[in-house]
Structure 1
């Protein structure tokens, strides 16, 4: 058993000064069979602590559910941290941002539009307390004074950038303590006077988030944290990407120099991130500060450990810096060998519009529902109604992509990012609209907003009613395969389900090259790899070795646009797109 406290100048572990050298490693972005490998690589870079967020919406996709299985087994993750001889920091939110869908807040929470968001509103707080009870039932036994690795638990997340409700923060603190958390509690905010003042409380240890101008930002933090250790609990080691932009990279040399300045000042640190991993499935979030910008599937972040868990130049540069201040154990991990390179033909197309009932059951609605009104909340929905003639079809707002068809023929595509919401229909007939959620906003005032076609639909100003609604379950690929298995003769228009069979000698990381495909998502042996999009910058989907079998494997692709390549190609490594340089 050990004691971890906050002293006059330092963190104290059993009464001795202890510098936290931590790196963010989100268990929910890494295949669970790879957790031990990533933790060990953090240790070998010289870190002594691993930090993770906890995503409420992943654990609780619907009310009354709290999933701690498989890749959500937080207890197992914390045990592996301890077995590696390392410590842990847990950041349960309830809001986490993290470029994660909705910032971690579950969509079902906002079915009632009067429910509060990140404030002392009774229904919101009731739901938050229930969530924290589940999380802390796992975390409390792992606290350091009970023989576990957990040193610190964070309250909320960069709250000063959102609000200043002290009653809300106090309620979170009280419930965290009541749930058995006795280690020191922290907050984090960007180092401005306004945010640090609004985001903390007396009794909570304030920390800051930044990646440069170390002396200036530590001085700002010290004004708001007069005693105790200084800590940058989000040292930005890189940045994230969104579809349609470039792949963000930062200089390893410049980042290492800033880390050196931070450690020279005696501060503790948590690298955000040490290893980013992947937004598997449909878990990536989005920003909307006037223009909607969905986050890519890759969360590589230009981190010291890349998306596939391989050390980068930044890993070695950071390791060298840490070695100036602390012992660095062992040898660094070796470079990764190239992955298998091969092609497999795509086969057995199933066109969604020709056989929609194979993908699920239609529901009848008089008014056009948003996704959030459906249970469970879907990611992709097919809508159907009849229109009696030509005219201008207009939706209140498209969130986030709507493909419009008349009698099975494409009419056009509306994108939220382009602020599009109307198009002309040349004739009447059966109107079909495929609507895709490309990620819920994870930062700012649009948290908690609904998805789908928001505000209804009109034709020449007249409301369209009487809708058939078919939610597509994309958590796993539909168990549909028809045809004679012949390869596609050439390009095929979406929305369409495609298959590929491939043989692999032994399990290994694979990199699915989506160059030449349009937009959609893919599954490998039933495991949801995530979204792809020709807008880039990302050109590969990471396939973790634990989901690859020796011998026969199956790839399933749901293409919602128009691919120009009729094969599945696997590349030697990551291809995350062009940079600014």
Structure 2
């Protein structure tokens, strides 16, 4: 979506430009009116109908923001080839408004194009606009500037929160409304919030969101989705709005619960977890074909509709991966969101795809679509990295310093993600002292006079510091490892939220370099290795890759410790030797014929080579098992 010359906003839907006034803070009475035609999906006697004909929603989750836009059409075609009739898509607010007031719907954010491609493929669309989506996405899809507002209470009836949602919905929802089936588009259903019963019980908040959708023109089927327990359904469902369930096992129990509570409603599994995601430092989750197919068969045997979560997982490209918290520690999510889905991260069709396809086609009797071939891959090769600017000097040279008496947080600096380099020069008496960091979120590499002292990754941690009676060049490189996407710690701040002490004495007078790595331009990335002299075993390194014909590949960094990788100026994401993920998926559209440049920001230790491999390596597997009870 791009501004037109008259100050209005042009929305493309199937080649038709629709002008809307720029969004206002308060709801605009000129919103698209709810369509006069009835919703395409209905359930007048408890049986799901599509335009009056008995129907099952057979959907697959695919997140446009986790797939390169040049691959959207291919991945949608693979969904349809599995026997699905619908694509299920979250909308991540922080993808479109990373900085407040800077709304973007271009390139990989072009919802109109995504809707068009789905319809061209013959798929209906379920839209899940949140505004909270979880999805193991950074901050559950909520912008960091929103949750960083003092006193903010997201996912509730707190008026400042609803004011911001209203402003966002004023721009977003008319685009969804214009793409509804009533207007010839593919959108047939819209979700109200997301699994709210796992979070709270503010009924007024859910009612406000439902009314915000209908008041801005949504007239297709509305539904809520929550876990299959009484507690979750009590908190997240709404009278008069279809209640769906999300689960990975025991569909008979889920169907029985919903039918006992919501007589006259069809059984819809809004998320069937046929795989699972991974955290750094844990094992790679897989789910056997037999286990997943057995549960899918149970949903279909119960007469249910279903959405496969995920049908195609994609990639947490850039710094989009979120994090969980187990009550004692942060659990950051890996770069891959492959999720052991039927359609692999690079589009390959797994055995799970073929088993699911057999079940889905048997349930519908549909004519099978041709199976697309797996995408081509580059032949394996090895590249030699060339070291560039050293870590501390290189990072300090890339951003001006902000001076502060205290160590400011990411939120205080207005930076959503990336790194902060905190620098101070305290006078340290001779002898051994204890350096303490309070309120650390999430990980700090600590240096004294350029020498590593150690790494802290707990909210409060200590390291020994030896003084000489002179001032010490104290540097703390703090990484935001992904904002929490689920649970009561949603919206937790990042950076140093407390202070730094030497013994009992606080350290003041800081200069801080903000490094929003995912906002760097191609020019920034290509300049970074040259801004300072090489120093030590960490910092920037580059490698050139010459190609005749681009194709997908998987990048590995044997011997490297932890850091970030760019290809031709586009940030792939994080790498970390603790695994489980070993390779990073490089989609072919990031590569060009001729010379390509790989840039690595290594925080710990350079390896001696970069490898391009012809298969993913996501780590030692561990069987995923999900139960409620």
Both structures adopt the same fold (TM-score exceeding 0.5): yes
2:129 is aligned to 92
Which 5+ residue runs of structure 1 have no aligned equivalent?
none
Q: Does 1:206 align with 2:243?
A: yes
Task: Please say which of residues 7-16 and 90-99 is displaced more in the overlay.
Answer: 7-16
| Partner Cα separation in structure 2 for residue 126 and residue 219 of structure 1 | 38
1:423 is aligned to 463
Q: Does 1:17 align with 2:46?
A: no
| Partner Cα separation in structure 2 for residue 328 and residue 222 of structure 1 | 32
| Partner Cα separation in structure 2 for residue 170 and residue 343 of structure 1 | 56
1:570 is aligned to 612
* Deviation, structure 1 residue 224: 2.3
* Equivalent pair of 2:421/2:476 in contact (CA under 8 Å): yes
2:380 is aligned to 341
* Equivalent pair of 1:274/1:305 in contact (CA under 8 Å): yes
Q: Does 1:42 align with 2:79?
A: yes
Which 5+ residue runs of structure 2 have no aligned equivalent?
1-36, 624-629
Q: Does 1:500 align with 2:543?
A: yes
2:420 is aligned to 381
Q: 2:571 aligns with which of 528, 532, 535?
A: 528
Aligned to 2:597, the other structure's residue is in SS state strand
**Cα RMSD over matched residues?**
1.8
Equivalent positions of 1:119-518 (< 5 A) are 119-290=156-327, 291-326=329-364, 327-389=366-428, 391-416=433-458, 421-427=461-467, 428-475=471-518, 476=520, 477-480=524-527, 493-494=537-538, 496-518=539-561
Q: 2:584 aligns with which of 527, 541, 545?
A: 541
* Deviation, structure 1 residue 357: 4.1
* Equivalent pair of 1:27/1:35 in contact (CA under 8 Å): yes
Aligned to 2:319, the other structure's residue is in SS state coil
* Equivalent pair of 1:379/1:437 in contact (CA under 8 Å): yes
Deviation string, structure 1 residues 238-271 (Cα, Å, up to 9, x no partner): 0000000111000111211211111111110000
* Equivalent pair of 2:300/2:363 in contact (CA under 8 Å): yes
Equivalent positions of 1:24-63 (< 5 A) are 24-63=61-100
Deviation string, structure 1 residues 400-427 (Cα, Å, up to 9, x no partner): 11001111111111113xx652111112
| Partner Cα separation in structure 1 for residue 338 and residue 449 of structure 2 | 42
Aligned to 2:284, the other structure's residue is in SS state coil
* Equivalent pair of 2:440/2:498 in contact (CA under 8 Å): no
Deviation string, structure 1 residues 298-344 (Cα, Å, up to 9, x no partner): 00000000111111110001001112111142232334555321111
* Equivalent pair of 2:94/2:144 in contact (CA under 8 Å): yes
* Deviation, structure 1 residue 130: 1.3
1:580 is aligned to 622
Task: Please say which of residues 215-224 and 44-53 is displaced more in the overlay.
Answer: 215-224
| Partner Cα separation in structure 2 for residue 7 and residue 22 of structure 1 | 21
* Deviation, structure 1 residue 90: 0.4
* Equivalent pair of 1:514/1:541 in contact (CA under 8 Å): no
Aligned to 2:498, the other structure's residue is in SS state strand
* TM-score of the pair, normalised by structure 2: 0.88
* Deviation, structure 1 residue 12: 1.8
* Deviation, structure 1 residue 451: 0.2
* Deviation, structure 1 residue 377: 3.0
* Deviation, structure 1 residue 478: 2.9
* Equivalent pair of 1:19/1:267 in contact (CA under 8 Å): yes
Task: Please say which of residues 45-54 and 472-481 is displaced more in the overlay.
Answer: 472-481
1:104 is aligned to 141
* Equivalent pair of 1:45/1:328 in contact (CA under 8 Å): no
Aligned to 1:354, the other structure's residue is in SS state helix
| Partner Cα separation in structure 1 for residue 301 and residue 79 of structure 2 | 21
| Partner Cα separation in structure 1 for residue 530 and residue 201 of structure 2 | 59
| Partner Cα separation in structure 2 for residue 273 and residue 558 of structure 1 | 31
| Partner Cα separation in structure 2 for residue 310 and residue 541 of structure 1 | 15
* Equivalent pair of 1:381/1:471 in contact (CA under 8 Å): yes
With over 3 angstroms needed to count, the CA separation of the structure-2 counterparts of 1:473 and 1:194, relative to structure 1, is closer
* Deviation, structure 1 residue 472: 1.0
Aligned to 2:473, the other structure's residue is in SS state strand
With over 3 angstroms needed to count, the CA separation of the structure-2 counterparts of 1:360 and 1:13, relative to structure 1, is same
